[in-house]
Structure 1
Amino acid sequence: MEHPSEERRVNRAADVSAVPLTLLTLLIPRLAEPAAVLDESATVVAANEALSTLAGGDGELVDESLTAVFPALTGDAIERNIERPGEYVTVRTGDEPERWVEFGFDRHGAYVLCVGHDVTGYRAKEHRLEEHERVLDTIHDAVYTLDHEATIRSVNGAVETLTGYDAEELVGADVSLLVDEATVERGQELTRALRDGERDVATLSSELTTADGETVPIETQFATAPRENGPDRHVGVVRDIADRQAFAETLASVQRATRELLYAETSEAVAEHIVGTATEVLSLSGATLYLFDARRNVLWPAGAAGVAGTDERQALCGEDEGVVRDVFLEGTERSVDSGDRYQPLGDHGVFHTVAAEPDDRTHELVELLARSARAALERVGREATLREREATHRRQAERVAELERVLAVLRRTTRSLVDADSVEAVEQGVCAALTESDWVSFAWIGRVDADGVDPRTWAGRGSNYLEAVSLSTADPDGPPAVRTARSNELTTVDAIAEDIREQRWRTAAIARDFQAVISVPLRVDGVSYGVLSVYANRPVEFREPLTSVFADLGDSVANAVREHELRTRYASDSAVELSLTIAVPDSPLGRLAAVLDTTVHGEAVIPVDGTATRLFLHVPDTDAETVADAVTTVQHVDSVVTVADDDRYELLAREPTVVGRLMRHGARLGEVRVADDEMELTVVLAAETDVRTFIDQTAEFCEGVQLTARRERPSPTHRGGVRDSLEAQLTDRQLEVLRTAYSSGFFEWPRTTTGEGVAEMLDVSQPTVNRHLRVSQRKLLELVFDD
C-alpha cells in the first residue's frame, strides 16, 4: 500500500529564510489542513482553525506549546523530521471516533512551518491488514491465494509447515509445484463454477507433494475474491486430512468389529471380542471388561488383554475391587491421569481401557466401543432370558406330559387297589397296572427283612434283573430299593446311565434298557409293608409334583396291604395271644408313669383320626389333682378327664402311641401295664399271623420289644362276624363315640360317666353324642335280632 504522504512531498528551497514570517502567517489561515507557525521553542505563533479543531479546543492556540497540545510532537521528533523530510510524526487524537494525523515540519529562519495530513482511513486499512496477517499466521490451517494463472500470490506460515517450502519459494511459483495436473484441472473447473455463480464455496480432495517428495492427503476449500483493479483471485484453505482418514479407517474397522458382535451368544464372548477390538484395532495399551455376577455379587474380568493381574480371570473381592466397584455402583465414568479409563456398562459391568497417549478421537472411539459392548450385552441378556424361558416352558410342557402319563397309570393302579381282594392281588395289580404304561418297563414290590429286600411280585420286561443285583441292605452300593429300605425315604435316579461304572446295579439296569428308577417306601403309621420300585425306559426328571404323586401311591398301596392283612387277622376262627414287654421311656404312658412314680394300667385304647389316641387309664392310689398336675409335664398330651371316683381317667394323646399303633396294625389289646419305663401287655392276633413279622414291624416304631409268652386260643373277635359287621356299618365317628361311651362307663349301672361327660371327652355337644349312640345301638340290635 502506497503511503499518502508520498504524493504530498514538496521541494524545499535551499534558502529556508526565503519565506518571511508575515507571509507564513498569511498562508496559514488559507490552508484546509491543520497548520501552524512555531518558534524555536515549539510555541505556536500562528495557527489555523483546522488545527484548533483538531486540538479539541474552542480558543486560539497562539502562545501555547504544541508539544503540550500533542504530546507525541516532542522537540526531538520535530528536529528529526526537519532533518529527514518524509519521516512524518503521526498523532492520534482523543476524539470519538479517533483520528490519525501525520505532521511534517519545515524550517524558515527562526520559525518552523507545521502542516498536518489526516491519515485515519489509511491507518484503518493498515490496521485491518495487520490483523488479517496475524490471523493467517496464527491459525493452524494453511491459507493461500492464487491469481488467474494459478500462480501462488501469498501463503501463511501453516502452508510453509505443511509443504516444507519457504514462503519465498512458494510465492510466484505455479501451483503445480504442489499438486498434480489432474488436481489443477479439477481446481480450474471448480473455479469456473464459482465465477459463474453455480456455487459459493468449492471443496477439493487431493494429495499434496512436499519439498521432501512425500505425499500428504489434503482437503482444500476455496472461493473467489474479487478485486477492483484486475482479475479475481482464488483464496483457499488447505487441511491435512491424514489424521481424519486414519480416524475414518479406524472407525470403519470398529464398526465392522461391532457388527460381528451380532453373532456373539454369551456375555463372555462379547467381553473377549470387545477387548480384542480395543487392543488390536484401536491399538490401546490394555483393556479389561468386567462382568457383574449377580448370583455371587462379584465383578470378574471376562475379557482382558495387556493389563497385568487380570489374565487369571479371578473375581474382584473386597478392597481389590477399588475403582472398578465404585464406577459400577455409581454408574459414572472415571479417568486417571495415567491414561486409565473406566466406563460403566449399566447393570452388566465396567469397561477399563489404558491408552498410552489418549486424545479426543481415542476417547470418542472408546466411547463408541463401550456403547456397542453395552448394547451387545443387553441383547445377549435378552436372548438368554428368552432361551431360558423357552427351556423352562419346554421343561414344564414335558413335565406336564410326563405327569399326565403318570396320572393315567395311577388311575389304573387305583382301580386295581379297589378291585383287589387280597394282599397278593394288591401287589400284583399295582405292578401290572404300572407296566401297562408305554414308559414303564418294569415294576416290583419287595418286603424288607433282616437280610434285605425280598421280592414278592413283579411285572414287565427284565424280571431276571432281580437275580443280577444284590438286594442286601448291607450292600452300600445296592440299587434304589435297598437305599429306600435302609432310609424309609423315596429314592430317585433320573438317568441310570450316568456314573454307570460306579455301581454294578446300573450296568445290569442299562443292559435291560432301564433308563430311570424311583423307589417308594410302602409305610403306614411307622410300619413298613415293603418297597415299590418302578423302572422307566427313558430318562425322567423326578421332581415335584411327580415325586409327590408316587409318594401318595406308596401310601395308598401300604394302606391297602394293611387293610387286607387286618381283614385276614379279624376273620380267623382262632387266635394267638402274645405277652410282650416294650421299653417306653419316651411314650406318653411311660413319661406319665415316671412322673407319678407308680404303675399305670391301660383299660381301653381308642385310635383317633390317624395319629391321636384316646386312652382310658387306671391309676391306683393317686388323687385326680396329682394326675392332672403330672399330665401338664407330659408333652403331646392335650387333656385328662376324671371318668369316675375309682381312679379312672380319660387321656388324649396327640402323638402316635405304642398301643395306638398296635391296634392300627391289627392287634387286639388285653392287659396293659406301665411302670419303671417298661410296658407289659398282651395282644391277640389271628392264628395265621406271622408272629416274627409282627414283632419286627413293632420294633420299627418302638425299642426293646421282647416276646415273653405265646398262647393259642379261640378268636374273641369272630363270633359269627357280629363285630366285623358292626364296624362295617358304623362310621369312624360313630364307632369312636360308641367305644368311648362304653370304655368310660356310660353303659354301667349305676353310670360312672354321663352323656355330658362323654361329650366333654370328645369335644362335641351332648345332643351329638346322644344321636351317635342311638344310631349305633340301633344298628347293633339289628345285627343281633334281625335275620
Structure 2
Amino acid sequence: MSAPTSTERISVLLVDNEPSFVQLAAEMLSRTDESFDVTTVTTAPDALAAVEDGGVECVVSDYDMPTMTGLELLEAVREQDENLPFVLFTGKGSEEIASEAIAAGVTGYLQKKSGREQYTLLANQIRNAVAQYRAETELRQSEQRYERTLTGLHETTRDLMRAGTKEEIYRALVETAGDILDVPIVATYRFEPTTAALEHVASSPGSSDTLDSDRRYEQGDGEIWAAFSSGELTYVPDASADREGTDELRRRSEVIVPLGSHGVLVTGSEVREGFDETMTELIQILAANTEAALDRAEREQLLREHDRRLTRKNEELTRLDHTNELVRDITQGVAQATTRNEIEETVCARLARGDRYIAAWLAPDRDPSDPSAWAGIDEAYADRIRADGESAPEVSLVNSALDEERVRVVSNVLDDPSWNPRRTIALTHGFQTVLAVPLTGRERRYGAVVIYATAVDAVAERERDVLRELGEVIGHAIRTAERMRAMVTDQRIELELVCRDELFLFNRLCEILDRQLHLEGILERTRGERSLFVRLADDEPTAIDSLVDELAAVASVSVISSGDESTLLDVTVSSTNVLETLAEFDARLTGAVANAGETTVTVVVPPHVETRSLVEAVQDQYPDTELTARREHTSELAGGRFPGRLTDVLTDKQLEALQSAHYSGFFDWPRESTGEDLAEALDISPPTFHYHLRAAQRKLIDRVLEGRPDSKG
C-alpha cells in the first residue's frame, strides 16, 4: 500500500494527563494535517481500552503520567499489537529517556517545545509511521492470504485423491479454483481418444456467459489445443487481440494448464493481464494435484469396482467398532458428570478427541443456533453459527433431526447446495460429513449434538443406530441432572390450566359425586400409589363407594373427615395419565378445583422445562384443555439459614405420615381428622402412625433450630 494521501484518514490516539494540553495538541495536529482523526484520552487505561477496541493507527503519548509512564504504556500496547506505531511526545526530554525509548522500540521520539513547528514534525512522524505500518500490514495480510490459499489447496488434494471418478475430480477442480483461488471463469476439458477431441466436462457458474458447454476443441484448434498437445502452461495476457468478434472475447486473459494426457484446465479473467505470478503458480499447483488424482483414478478404476463392496463392509465394521468404543467412553464420562453443562462438554470433548470425528458441538433445544458447548471448532466458528441463525445449514439439520427424532446426515457437504457458503470452511477444517444426533429422554427433547467427520459418507446405517442410542443415553443423563438441579433451586414456573374433557379424572369425580371438589394435596405412597386428598363442598355424598367400581384408576376411597360444610376424602389411585405426563416433565400438580364439568389445575414446573411442550403433551391426552395463566416465582428460605431441603432428613414412612397429617387437617384447630382416621387410610396401626409422625416432627424441629444463630447444636 502506498503512503497515506491527504484523502486517506489516519486515526491518531493522543495520550496526555493534562486535559488542556491534550486538547490543544489535538487541535494543532488536526490543523497541521486535515486527514488526521485525533482521539484524546488523559489516562493510560483509557488509552489501552481505545487500542483494544481497534481502529487506532498511531499512538502519541506523553512520558510522565501518574499511573503509567509512556514507556510502560508502550509495553502494554505492544502486547496487543507489536507493530502499532507509537510516538513518545514528551516535555521531559533527556538523552537517558531518549535512549531508553529507542531501546524499548518506540517508533518516534519528539520533545515538546513551544511553537507550531513541533506539530509539523510530529505530523510528519505520524504520517511516515502509519504509511510503513499500513504497508507492513498489507504485506503480512497478503502473505497470510497466500498461506491460507495454499493450505486450502493442500486440503483439497485429499478430496481429489478420494474422488471416485474422473468426473468428480473435474468438478472438484472447478469448485476449488472458483472457491479457493477466486477465479471468475473456470472450465475443464477431458480428452476423448475415440473422437480425438477435448470435450467440455465442467465449468464454474461464472463461466456460463463466456463458455459454450457444448464446445469441443479438435486438433489445431487455438491456444487450448496447443497447450494440451505441448504439455506446457500457456498464459494469454490479452486474448482480445486474436479473438476480435468471437464469443470468447469476454475472456480478456487466460491461463491454460494441461492435465497430462487427461485434458486441460482453462482459467479466465474478464480483464487484460488478470493473472499475476502468484496466482499462476497456485493454478499450476492445483493442476498438478488434479493430474495426480486423475492418474490414480485411471489406475484404480477397475480395481475399485472389484473391491468396493468388500472395502465398504470392512470400513463399516471398523467404523462401527470405533464408534462402539467411543460410545462406551462417552457413557462413562457422562455417568460421572453432575450438571448439564458438564455432560455437554464431556460429550463434545470425547467425540472430538477420537479418530472417528474431528469436531462436535451441542445445539440446545431452546435455540439450536446458539452452541452451548463445542470441541474441535473455535469460537469464530461458533460465532458464525450464531450469526447465521436459522439459515445455518447445521441448524436446519438439527431441526430436521429433532422433528423426525432420528439421526440426520449430510454425507458430503461439498455436494450439498445448502452448504455452498461453507465449502471453503469445510475444506479448511477438513470435514465432509456432518450429522445431527437428537438427544431425547422419556419423551423429552434436549437438543442435538452436531458431529463432523472428514470422509465423504462417513456414517453408515448401523453406526447411525448406535449414535441414536447414544443420544438417548445423553438425553437421560441430562434429564437426571436437570431434575437434581430442580430439587435445589428456588425458582419455579406456575401454570394454570382449565380442562373440560369429560374423561379427565377430576371431572369424572365431580360428575359421580355431584359435588364441587378441591384437591388439598397429593401423597406419593410407598407402594407406588398416590393418595389424592380431595375436599368436597357440602356434606358426605352417597356415591363415594361407587367410585372404585366406575373409575378404573381409583384403587380405594376413605373418608378422612365429614361435616355439614365439607367432606375430606382420601382417593387412592394406582395411575393417572395427567400425573404420569407431568412426572415426565418433572412438573408437579399442586392444586385442582373441579365444578360443573371443568377443572382448573395449578401446575408447578421447573425453570428448565419448556412449558409449551408440557401443555401440548397434556392436550394430546385431553384435547379440551387450555392454558389460562403463567406465573414465575422465586421463593427464599427465611433468613437464608436452611441449606438444602428440610425433607431430606425424613424417611419415606415419616414423610408419608407428615404429608397425610398436613393435607387432612390434622394440625388444624379444631382437628378435621384423627390419628386413627389417618392410620386407617394409610393401612397401618395408630401407634405406628403416631411414631412416624412424631419422629418427623422431631427431625424437622431439630433441623430448624440447628439453623438458628443461638442454637446449641
Greater relative contact order, per chain length (Cα 8 Å cut-off, separation 6+): 2
Q: TM-score, normalised by structure 2?
A: 0.43
Q: TM-score, normalised by structure 1?
A: 0.39
Asked which structure has the greater CA Rg, the reply is 1
